[in-house]
Structure 1
Amino acid sequence: MTQEDFQLNDKVALVTGAAQGLGEALAVGLAEAGADIIALDRLPVDTCLKQIRALGREGIGLQHDLAAMTPERAQEIIAECVAGLGRLDILVNNAGVIRREAALDFSQASWEAVLDIDLSSVFYLSQAVARHFVALGQPGKIVNIASMLSFQGGQFVASYAAAKSGVAGLTRALANEWAGLGINVNALAPGYMATDVTAALRDDPARSQAILERIPAGRWGEPDDLKGAVVFLASDASRYVHGAILPVDGGWLAR
């Protein structure tokens, strides 16, 4: 094992949900390790691309809403990536949404919106990129973004807990099938991170204090805390890691 095993020079990564928050940090972290980046989001990705290009890496943006994903749309997105930067080596399935409602009143719209983007798009994009890798006979890396709610149930987030539990199971299932093809499928499970998704929790003094008291690190995570972990899972350093769900949670699950 050498430092070169952690380098991503000459690799191209697609990061979904890259306009802000965790996705932006993941994209920049991969670029810092040497990768060129395709930043995908339904929102503009200008800020993300500016950081990537400042590192001397190539970066292009794709604007897509991953709702109502189909195998055909996923195939088109992967083809667009390859056309844009000439190759594709890494897929980071980060895009996600959350809806907060009591389970007794949880609406069909809130259920389907979250499962659609947080789980179905993960599968269809993974399937499409794996078909690309296999057709070329090349190895590849898929990094999914799971959650603490891949291990726990949470409250008032039934669809999110279901989707993120599904991401963990899907990660293992795809790893079982594709490891022999040279495709590593793993996931990161961020803890409580200081992003827009957790703004309501951080703005509630009692809830925020209760969360912080359980985190051994004593602080909310920052998006940059994910950079080292995603580079590891996207690089040759993790070539014998398949089906892992890696918590990046300040020790939350250890309590």
Structure 2
Amino acid sequence: MSELFDLTGKTALVTGGGRGIGRAIATELAAAGAAVVPSARSTDEIEAVADEIDAAGGDALAVPADVTDPDAVTNAIDRTEDTFGSVDIVVNNAGFNPDSALGQPEDVSTDDLERVLAVNLSGAYEVTRAAADGLEDTGGSVINVASVGGLVGLPRQHPYVASKHGLVGLTKSLSLDWAPEVRVNAVAPGYVSTDLTEDLEGNERLRQSILERTPLERFAEPEEIAGPVVFLASDAASYVTGSVLAADGGWTAR
């Protein structure tokens, strides 16, 4: 069974790979044997992740890229292929949910809506499209990091929820067009303990409301999202495509 999870000889590009969930995904893919390219706008963060992977005996290359810039995306794919020979796994993890995009719909600007959609949805589309030829050649795998907000509604997070619902739809439609050569799946995390949720966890009222809604009664650790990603990237999921794996502590079971 362990051989099914072995990613030796594969190369994975992880967007938003410098911290939090993306960092955990990058290091766990490397631990499973893949060469990993963490990518993000912040060079310092992705270089630290690459150094961590190298120090553990893996292979990594930090490639800065903004997923909203098609030229930067193409460069990231080209550098990955030039260095490692192929792109076998694409993990679309880049995303954000800025404070300015939170609130009642009449209070959120069109600019904020478009900024969130550009990163969370259009960015994933650009990266996946740029990697298409290589993925089809190698029989690769795409894993989109969605959210419980892509499966259910969340109050006061309309641009984010729209972007993640769109990402779930994109996952399903791509899986149809690219089968049988390429598998396309998504992971839908619940609330995860990262630096982006520190303020949320520090607000006792909000924290308790989330825990009461979560059957496992806690936030996830980033590594608990990385595990499902490794599964979907591996031969253990060789008959899985077009699926959304909810890693949400039971949030969507209610």
Q: Shared topology, TM-score over 0.5?
A: yes
Equivalent residue, structure 2, for 1:176: 176
> For 1:59 and 1:164, how far apart are their aligned partners in 2?
28
Residues 150-200 of structure 1 deviation map (CA, whole Å, 9 limit, x = unaligned): 0122122111100000000000000011112x2010000011111233233
Alignment check: 8 A CA contact 2:38 2:49 kept = yes
Q: Tell me the equivalent position of 1:95.
A: 94
Q: Distance in 2 between matches of 1:132 and 1:87?
A: 6
What aligned pairs does 1:105-144 form with structure 2 within 5 A after superposition? 105-134=107-136, 137-144=137-144
2:14–2:91: 8 Å Cα contact kept in structure 1?
yes
2:153 counterpart of 1:153: yes
CA deviation digits over 1:29-72, x for unaligned, max 9?
101111111010111213211221122111110111223x33x5
Mean CA deviation greater in 81-90 or 56-65: 81-90
State the distance in 2 between where 1:42 and 1:205 align: 32
Shift of 1:10: 1.1
Q: What residue number does 1:86 align with? A: 85
User: Matches of 1:114 and 1:197 in 2, distance apart?
Assistant: 15
User: What's 2:25 paired with?
Assistant: 26
Match of 2:193 in 1: 194
TM-score between both structures, scaled by the size of structure 1: 0.93
* 1:16 counterpart residue number: 15
Counterpart residue number, 1:53:
54
Deviation at 1:73, TM superposition (A): 4.6
Unaligned runs of 5+ in 1: none
Question: Structure 1: which 4+ aligned runs deviate by more than 6 Å?
Answer: none
1:216 corresponds to: 215
Aligned partner of residue 62 in structure 2, secondary structure: strand
Structure 2 unpaired stretches of 5+: none
Counterpart amino acid of 1:64? A
Match of 2:248 in 1: 249
- Is the contact made by 2:86 and 2:134 (CA closer than 8 Å) also made in structure 1? no
Q: Is the 8 A contact 1:130 1:140 kept in 2?
A: no
What is the number of residues matched between the two proteins?
A: 249
Q: Is the 8 A contact 1:146 1:164 kept in 2?
A: yes
Cα deviations by residue, 1:75-123 (Å, 9 ceiling, x for unpaired) = 3321121112222210000000113233111012211111001000111
Report the counterpart of residue 38 of structure 1 in structure 2: 37
Query: Which range moved further: 241-250 or 148-157?
Result: 148-157
Distance 1:172 1:112 in 2: 22
Inter-partner Cα distance in structure 2 for 1:138 and 1:24 = 25
In the aligned structure 1, how far is the partner of 2:3 from the partner of 2:194? Answer: 32
Contact 2:174–2:184 (Cα < 8 Å) also in 1:
yes
Counterpart of 2:144 in 1: which secondary structure? strand
Instruction: State the SS of the aligned residue for 1:59.
Output: coil
